[in-house]
Amino acid sequence: DAMVIQNPRYQVTQFGKPVTLSCSQTLNHNVMYWYQQKSSQAPKLLFHYYDKDFNNEADTPDNFQSRRPNTSFCFLDIRSPGLGDAAMYLCATSRDGETQYFGPGTRLLVL
């Protein structure tokens, strides 16, 4: 089945230690998104790639970066995680900005 895959499902890191979350997709969608979701809240868009074009949300902290080496993969890098960055991180994909399909998420714990 075509799908969005996120690894790992759970990630524990230390305060200030860089961490990378990964997302891959077999849907061949040209748009990929990263969201942050904190407890009992709606997901918040961090940034997205439309093909190779990177689009950062105005309020996304500089601590968050992203890479998209090819159509299928996208990475979220958190350069110096703080306690406030503990959250569920969701990857999503779409074709040309239409219906978004989400992965299962990676839950990040910062110690």
Partner 1 sequence: GDSVTQMEGPVTLSEEAFLTINCTYTATGYPSLFWYVQYPGEGLQLLLKATKADDKGSNKGFEATYRKETTSFHLEKGSVQVSDSAVYFCALIQSNFGNEKLTFGTGTRLTIIP
Q: Which of 92, 81, 62 is nearest to 19 (CA)?
A: 81
- For residues 34 and 48, the answer to whether their CB atoms sit within 8 Å is yes
Q: What is the phi/psi pair of residue 29, to 5°?
A: -85, 150
Does position 27 interact with partner 1 (CB under 8 A)? The reply is no
Identity of residue 14:
Q
73 part of the interface to partner 1, by CB under 8 A? no
93, 105, 108, 110: which one binds partner 1 (CB under 8 A): 105
* Minimum CB distance to partner 1 smaller for 28 or for 80: 28
Site for partner 1 (CB under 8 A): which residue of 52, 59, 83, 99?
A: 99
Nearest residue (CB) to partner 1, 2 versus 79: 2
Q: How many CA atoms lie within 13 A of 67 on its CB side?
A: 8
Check residue 98 for interaction with partner 1 (CB under 8 A): yes
Q: Please state, in angstroms and as integers, the Cα–Cα distance from residue 74 to each residue in 16, 25, 83, following that order.
A: 22, 9, 24
Q: Which parts of this chain interact with partner 1 (CB under 8 A)? A: 4, 6, 40-43, 45, 50, 55, 88, 90, 92, 94, 96-105, 107
